């Protein structure tokens, strides 16, 4: 498929476009918050707390009188940063492991990597995340590490599976005959051909990372105050929910729409990259 066809296909996929727009919206809000927010999120005005949405405060104010709209903009930054780095960790560590396992399929190295994967999978993820933050203290960095660790086996397994089938292809065979080493083949022939898959999985892990970050901050193990974060906004809102439901509703909706956007985009990408699937689902 040519480049033009690809773009046309993308433009014609409604759910992909919807996802893309939602994702860009939050990314844009996060970037914009570096330069401008309607109100300063560091300033507390107790006398103006718990105001309902109005022309001045679009989403109302929280229990400290901070503007919730501004908080959500800055909170997007935290969520995106944590999830993005966590996906990065998963890819940087997981993809080479998966490539190595595929190159040495059936041998000891493969066995060790795959068993290691199973082991990480066997740990109840949330419990371990809580343990990590309990051991090293609660912070955004530790949340990243905790989420990142569980991304490693996801990418390793995906990479190994996809790479295994590629190793049987003719052009890889001929590269081997030409005397190229396993590392070089992996880098030159395997990796470019599984990049699509990795991008799709990356999008999905990214959205899972945002959910995980929200969960960890909700239990107080993510970014620390005064850094705004969606999960902590929800935790703060909890006792006030019957008094001022809006302070629980907007951060929750922010999470839902971001995750929804990323998921739609991920699904859309998969369909675009894999025309067979697209046909099947059309």
Partner 1 sequence: MKHFTIKTAFAGVAVLALSAGLAQAAQTDITVGMQLEPPHLDPTSAAAGAIDSVTYANIFEGLTRFTSTGAIVPGLAESWDISDDGLTYTFHLHDGVKFHDGTDMNADDVKFTLDRARAEDSANAQKALFAAIAEVNVIDPLTVEVKLSEPNGNMLFNLAWGDAVIVAPESIDTIKTNPVGTGPFKFSNWVQGDKIEITRNPDYWGTPAKLEKATFKFISDPTAAFASVMAEDVDVFTGFPAPENLPQFEADPRFQVLVGSTEGETILSTNNKMPPFDNVKVREALAHAINRQEIIDGAMFGYGTPIGTHFAPHHPAYVDLTALSTHDPELSRKLLAEAGFPDGFTTTLKLPPPSYARRGGEIIAAQLAAVGIKTEITNVEWAQWLEQVFRGKDYGLTIVSHTEPLDIGIYAQPDYYFQYDNPAFQALMEELNATTDPTKRAAMLGAAQATISKDYVNGYLFQLAALTVANAKVVGLWENAPTQATDLTAVYWED
Partner 2 sequence: MLRYTLKRLLSLALSLIVASVVIFVAIEVVPGDPASYMLGINAQPDTVAALREELGLNVGPFQRYVNWITGLVRGDFGTSYTYRTEVADMIGERLWISLPLALFALTMSTLIAFPAGILAATKRGSAWDVAVMGVTQLGVAIPNFWFAMLIVLVFAINLRWFSAGGFPGWDQGLAVGLKALLLPAISLALPQASILARVMRSALLDTLDEDFIRTARAKGLTRRQVLRRHALRNAMIPVLTIIGLQFSFLLAGAIIIENVFFLPGLGRLVFQSISQRDLIVVESVVMLLVFAVVVVNFAVDLAYAAVDPRLRSRG
For binding to partner 1 (CB under 8 A), which residues are involved? 42-44, 46-47, 49, 63-64, 134, 137-138, 220, 224-226, 238-243
Task: State the binding partner of 269 from partner 2, partner 1, none, CB within 5 to 8 A by kind.
Answer: none
Q: How far is the C-alpha of 9 from the C-alpha of 246, rounded, in Å? A: 39
Residue 131 interacting with partner 2 (CB under 8 A): yes
Spatial neighbors of 251 by CB under 8 A, at least 6 apart, are 68, 71, 72, 75, 230, 233, 234, 237
With binding defined as CB under 8 A, does residue 115 bind partner 2?
A: yes
Stretch that binds partner 2, among 26-34, 132-140, 143-151, 175-183 (CB under 8 A): 132-140
Q: How far apart are CA 219 and CA 64, in angstroms?
A: 20
Residue with tokens 């590629």: 166
Distant-in-sequence, close-in-space partners of 236: CB < 8 Å, separation ≥ 6: 62, 63, 247
User: Smallest gap, in angstroms, from Cβ of residue 244 to partner 1?
Assistant: 9
Binding partner of residue 194 among partner 1, partner 2, none, CB cut-off 5 to 8 Å per kind? none
Query: In Å, how far are 98, 182, 213 from 104, measured between CA atoms?
Result: 10, 9, 35
User: How many chain residues bind partner 2 (CB under 8 A)?
Assistant: 42
CB of 258 to partner 1, least distance (A): 24
> Contact letters (x/-) for partner 2, 160-179, by CB under 8 A?
--------------------
With H, G, I as helix, E, B as strand and everything else as coil, classify residue 54. Answer: coil
* Cβ-proximal residues to 137 (8 Å cutoff; 6+ apart), any chain: none
Cβ(75)–Cβ(254) under 8 Å? yes
Q: How far is the C-alpha of 146 from the C-alpha of 141, rounded, in Å?
A: 9
CB closer to partner 1, 89 vs 143: 143
Q: Indicate which single residue of 58, 167, 257, 273 sits in contact with partner 2 (rule: CB under 8 A).
A: 257
The residue among 84 and 187 lying less far from partner 2, judged by its C-beta, is: 84
Name residues whose C-beta falls within 8 Å of residue 218's C-beta, 6 or more positions apart in sequence. Answer: 231, 232, 234, 235
Does position 226 bind partner 2 by CB under 8 A? no
Q: Which of the choices partner 2, partner 1, none does residue 257 contact, using the CB cut-off of 5 to 8 A by kind?
A: partner 2
- Residues near partner 2 (CB under 8 A) are 106, 111, 115, 118-119, 121-128, 130-132, 134-135, 137, 207, 211, 214-215, 218-219, 231, 234, 238, 241-242, 245, 248, 252, 255-257, 259-260, 263-264, 280-281
């Amino acid at each position: 498929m040519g480049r033009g066809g690809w773009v046309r296909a993308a433009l014609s996929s409604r759910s992909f476009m919807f996802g893309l727009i939602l994702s860009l919206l939050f990314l844009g809000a996060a970037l914009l918050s570096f330069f401008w927010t309607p109100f300063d999120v560091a300033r507390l005005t107790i006398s103006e707390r718990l105001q309902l949405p109005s022309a001045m405060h679009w989403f109302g104010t929280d229990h400290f009188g901070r503007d919730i709209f501004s908080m959500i903009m800055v909170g997007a930054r935290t969520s995106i940063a944590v999830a993005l780095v966590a996906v990065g960790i998963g890819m940087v560590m997981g993809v080479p492991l998966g490539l190595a396992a595929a190159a040495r399929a059936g041998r000891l190295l493969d066995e060790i990597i795959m068993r290691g994967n199973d082991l990480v999978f066997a740990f109840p993820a949330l419990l371990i995340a809580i343990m990590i933050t309990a051991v090293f203290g609660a912070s955004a960095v530790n949340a990243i590490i905790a989420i990142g660790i569980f991304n490693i086996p996801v990418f390793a397994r995906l990479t190994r599976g996809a790479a295994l089938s590629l190793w049987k292809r003719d052009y890889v065979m001929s590269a081997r005959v030409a005397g190229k080493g396993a590392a070089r083949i992996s880098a030159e022939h395997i990796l470019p051909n599984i990049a699509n898959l990795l991008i799709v999985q990356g999008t999905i892990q990214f959205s899972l990372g945002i959910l995980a970050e929200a969960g960890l901050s909700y239990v107080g193990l993510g970014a620390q105050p005064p850094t705004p974060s969606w999960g902590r906004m929800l935790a703060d809102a909890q006792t006030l929910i019957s008094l001022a439901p809006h302070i629980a509703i907007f951060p929750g909706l922010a999470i839902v729409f971001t995750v929804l956007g990323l998921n739609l985009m991920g699904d859309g990408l998969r369909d675009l990259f894999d025309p067979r699937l697209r046909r099947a689902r059309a």
